Amino acid sequence: MNRKKISNAIEKTMNIIFSLCGIAAVLGVLVITVFLAAKGTPAVKEIGLAEFLFGRVWASTSDNPSYGILPFILTSVYGTLGAIIIGVPIGIMCAIFIGKMAPPRIANAVRASVELLSGIPSVVYGLVGMIIVVPFVREVFNLPDGANLFSAIIVLSVMILPSVISVSETALRAVPKEYEEASLALGATKTETVFRVVVPAAKSGIFTSVVLGVGRAIGEAMAVMMVAGNVANMPKLFGSVRFLTTAVASEMSYSSGLQREALFSIALVLFIFILIINMVLNSIKGGKQ
């Protein structure tokens, strides 16, 4: 009888422990949201929302400080767009190749390369960007300094490739074989079948991969910090720029007062961008179900 009581007590305790573990992720999201909101809003209130979001000048350390983050927002948007424009076509073409067209051996080799690329740490991408891409851009376009938005776009477009490729490939392989067979039976070539039948059928998955790429590009900090020049200018393709992520990282170590609070506000803006991207991803998934 006593043993039964003990084992019942153990069962109950474990149930509670697992429930607590279960809500750990929820707790994590809540804590992140609450802390960012609490730390990020005071500066916005003090500066004024419009002035903060649409101010064109960021001069946090000058005597007459100005906290406008439009340069960072636009740089992040342009940088991400640029990375998508370069990275997505290459990524999707490669996904089609390894998912549908290539002989198994070649497909496996390319797939392994993609996996290895996805494992390379972002600081290593930053280092290679600093030593190869930056001088290359400086030479080719005859600039005084190669650390600019264009270099950042090149590095980012390489960094988003692995997620674009692997997610697109999974989507392409999930398309039922019958679709292809029907198209082939009607006299289409293999290439026509893949591009006109399989790709359209997998378009929601391919779109998901693009959105994931956007998330990766907009959230990348270290690699961008090493190649973008890091001056708070309005974005110019060949100008030194600062992203939302690098704006937070570059001043954090020596900031204080309103400047520091404004950095938290920038992080809050970045967080809101990410939440929007998450919502888009969820709505694609919801639409499929």
User: Shortest Cβ distance from residue 181 to another protein (Å)?
Assistant: 19
Of 49, 123, 140, 182, the one binding another protein (CB under 8 A) is: 123
Of 37, 85, 109, 174, the one binding another protein (CB under 8 A) is: 109
Instruction: Give dist(CA 120, CA 133) in Å, integer.
Output: 17
Residue 144, sorted as left (phi over 0), alpha (psi -120 to 50) or beta, turns out to be: alpha
Q: Map the footprint of another protein across residues 9-48, applying CB under 8 A.
A: 10-11, 14-15, 17-26, 28-29, 31-32, 35-36, 39
**68 lies in the binding site for another protein (CB under 8 A):** no
Query: Within a 13 Å sphere around the CA of 177, how many CA atoms are in the beta-carbon half?
Result: 0
Kindly tell me which of 57 and 222 has the beta carbon lying closer to another protein.
222
User: Shortest Cβ distance from residue 60 to another protein (Å)?
Assistant: 16
Kindly tell me which of 56 and 276 has the beta carbon lying closer to another protein.
276
**210 lies in the binding site for another protein (CB under 8 A):** no
Of 61, 189, 204, 283, the one binding another protein (CB under 8 A) is: 189
**87 lies in the binding site for another protein (CB under 8 A):** no
- In degrees to the nearest 10, what's the CA dihedral of 281, 283, 285, 289? 180
Instruction: Give dist(CA 60, CA 71) in Å, integer.
Output: 13
**231 lies in the binding site for another protein (CB under 8 A):** no
**155 lies in the binding site for another protein (CB under 8 A):** no
Q: Map the footprint of another protein across residues 243-282, applying CB under 8 A.
A: 245, 248-249, 252-253, 264, 267, 270-271, 274-275, 277-278, 281-282
**84 lies in the binding site for another protein (CB under 8 A):** no
Kindly tell me which of 14 and 140 has the beta carbon lying closer to another protein.
14
Give the range of 49-57, 67-75, 127-135, 176-184 binding another protein by CB under 8 A.
Answer: 127-135
The string over 62-90, giving b where at least 16 C-beta atoms fall within 10 Å of a residue's C-beta and e elsewhere, is: eeeeebbbbbbbbbbbbbbebbbebbbee
φ, ψ for residue 62, nearest 5 deg: -80, 170
Listed residue (132, 155, 137, 160) closest to 246, CA to CA: 155
